[in-house]
Amino acid sequence: MPQYEGQKKLAAIKKLAEGKDAEIGVAWMEGNAMHSMNNERLYPLMSVFKLHVAVALLKDMERRGAAVDTTLNITPEQMRKDTYSPLMKLHPDGRFSITLPQLIRYAIAESDNNAADILIAMAGGIDSVDREIHAMGIKDCHLSETEATMYEAPINSYANWSKPESVVWLLRKLYDGRLLSGEYDRCIKQALAATTTGADKIKAGLSQGMTLAHKTGTGFRMADGTKMADNDAGVVTMPDGRQVAIAILIKDSKMSDADNARLMAEITKIILGDERE
């Protein structure tokens, strides 16, 4: 994409964001060109951090030569009832067996909080996840909270932050094959492609023939009506095979969930504008 086209799109996005009662961070990358708006700010990742968790765990497993296709025996102690967890609904007693790829799929595609915290424990804790991500050369992000600690004190969600360009770099390196290989790479990409959440966000901005592999993140809404975060980040594959990595992070929004989602879809349309013609 020529640089001037990127600047033209940035100007359109800035105009769209004017007057919106929220902090809006956007970044996208096609080829070697990175474009971003409000990248100097720190945005709570919310469930987008599950992408970081899964990549960090799989990277550690690949380094150790541990097989992805393994079965885990989950116990009630690992499953909280007071959280969003499709797995808990399927297994009310909290005791079941599941393969690791299935667990990652629940964490990513279904945004299961219990699945995410089990993966964090397998990775050696959230601090280990943070170190692994930084060791991959992904800067301008910080992870110190689990789903459990964010639920216990929602304000903790702000401690799991990233700049938009950082999320795009993680996606770009992942889809360029620079982070994982073989079964480890397939596992995370299959989960991202299967995501069911956020159909009204980036996905709603695609046109025919485009596909999306992504991870969403939805924050708590505080007593005054402010939503801590509303996020979507992923890789759009064009009909001709070209890929565009996009991250849209909305912080402290006074808008409705529907308005946040609509804004993400409209921003996506602008980013992909030239490719739609």
Helix H or strand E encompassing 202? none
Residue 275 clears pLDDT 70, i.e. is over it:
no
Q: How confident is the model at residue 1 (pLDDT cuts 50, 70, 90)?
A: very low
pLDDT of residue 3: 64
Q: How confident is the model at residue 2 (pLDDT cuts 50, 70, 90)?
A: low
Domain that includes residue 40, residue range: 3-13+22-276
Tens-place pLDDT, residues 222-263 = 999 999 999 999 999 999 999 999 999 999 999 999 999 999
What's the whole-model pTM score? 0.96
Alpha carbon distances (Å) from 38 to 11, 220, 243: 12, 22, 23
* Region 132-161 average pLDDT: 97
50: domain CATH number?
Answer: 3.40.710.10
Tens-place pLDDT, residues 155-211 = 999 999 999 999 999 999 999 999 999 999 999 999 999 999 999 999 999 999 999
- Total domains, the chain: 1
* Region 2-14 average pLDDT: 87
In 3D space, the residue among 109, 106, 48 whose CA is nearest the CA of residue 78 turns out to be 106
Tens-place pLDDT, residues 38-85 = 999 999 999 999 999 999 999 999 999 999 999 999 999 999 999 999
Alpha carbon distances (Å) from 25 to 45, 54, 156, 233: 12, 23, 20, 11
**Which of 36, 47, 162, 253 is an active site residue?**
47
User: Is residue 157 annotated as a catalytic residue, yes or no?
Assistant: no
